Amino acid sequence: MQRAAHQIPTKIHILKSQTKNTPRTTIMVMDYHFLVFSSLAAIIYGALRVSYSIWWKPKSLERKLKQQGITGTSYKPLLGDMKDFIKHITESWSKPINLNHQIAGRVDPFTLNIVQKYGNVAMFWFGKTPKVIIKDPELIQEVLSNKLGHFGKPPLNPLILILARGLTVLEGEKWAKHRKIINPAFHLEKLKGMLPAFGLSCSNMIAQWNEMVGPQGTCEVDAWPELQKLTMDAISRAAFGSSYEQGKKIFQLQKELILLVMEAMQTLYIPGFRFLPTKKNLRRKTLDREITSTLRGIIEEKQNAMRAGESRTDDLLGLLLQSNEHNNQSESTSSKKGDHGLTIEEVIEECKVFYVAGQETTSSFANMDDDSSSYAPRLARKSKTGSYASLWEG
């Protein structure tokens, strides 16, 4: 009996211990199974998402484009046609350029090859994204007019938006509103009024070149930087009139900003990296603030002078502010909410667009014109007299 009395508590103790541990063991086993199941589900879901993104979706887009009669290269996972693009560029730049106007093969040999191979409407792949090339003039006009708003603009790298957030990046109602206000400033008759400003800039450049001529009557001029200076001076005069000296300062600041942005875009884009206080990020922000501040000062000064009747409105900024004021007056009785003209911030962004759009295009066109004159001197001489017969010699 004594031995049994000693054994009973021991048994009871063991049973209690087992009773306490059993639910915990069961819960641990259930947690383990749930963790395994969740992990497998997450892996399968991730694999399906990746497969959809890099294969099913691109192939589906390719089929839809081909059903519409748009032919082109076949999709290659992840890279698309990047290897062929780099190959064509490398081959093109390894050879000297011919002295003629057949520059497409030099500037964009890959696109030229696609058009020649697949026609005026063709497609290629930029990574996972199909790109449609349109060479047909009627289709180009339809896309650019975009009257129904069916053609959206591709998403831009956030770094580009620091240059300008004006008409070129807007869509929908905002784009229509800005275009309605800006368009009158670019009517042909109003642009003719800017010709004296362009003529003055050209005269100043020629006078500087004459001063550079030595005793021998000749000198060597690096035309590209000179034409960039000409563009800066002409756009500044045409855009800001009497404030063109401040405009030239903006031009120089924006040129530096463009170089910094282009340098950043040539590297791998990491979301959020532009917010880090690196030396170049801080410089970009400083330049943007300085450009915005200078433009704000010019615009406010112009507005005050126009209200007092002390300023001419034949420069681009004056025409823009005048059109904006007319729009405000014509829609002052409108019942629609928010039916008003541009804010000063929006005017600032449109002024930035003037510079970004005009800087390289104008100087490049002038440089090409000089090159054309050197290719065909007889044509250059005849064009001065107004005779444009077929005298091409290149």
pTM metric for this prediction = 0.67
Helices (runs of H) and strands (runs of E) counted in the chain? 15, 3
The residue type found at 299 is I
In a structure prediction context, what are the per-residue pLDDT tens digits for the chain, which is 394 residues long? Answer: 444 444 444 444 444 444 444 555 555 556 677 777 888 888 988 888 888 888 999 999 999 999 999 999 999 988 888 889 889 988 988 888 777 767 788 888 999 999 999 999 999 998 888 999 999 899 888 888 776 667 777 777 788 888 888 888 888 788 888 888 888 888 888 888 888 888 888 898 889 888 888 777 888 888 888 888 888 888 888 888 766 677 778 888 988 998 888 888 777 677 788 888 889 889 999 999 999 999 999 888 888 888 887 766 677 888 888 888 877 776 665 545 555 788 889 888 988 888 777 776 766 666 666 666 666 655 555 554 444 433 333 3
Please provide the DSSP assignment of 19-56 as one string: HHHHHHHHHHHHHHHHHHHHHHHHHHHHHHHHHIIIII
Measured N-to-C along each axis, helices 279-307 and 344-375 cross at an angle, to the nearest 10 degrees, of: 100
Rounded-to-5 percentages of helix, strand, coil across the chain: 70, 5, 25
d(CA 313, CA 321): 8
Residue-range domains of the chain with CATH: 66-151 (no CATH), 157-384 (1.10.630.10)
Return left, alpha or beta for 142; rule: phi > 0 is left, psi -120 to 50 is alpha, else beta: alpha
Copy the structure tokens of residue 125.
Answer: 């792949």
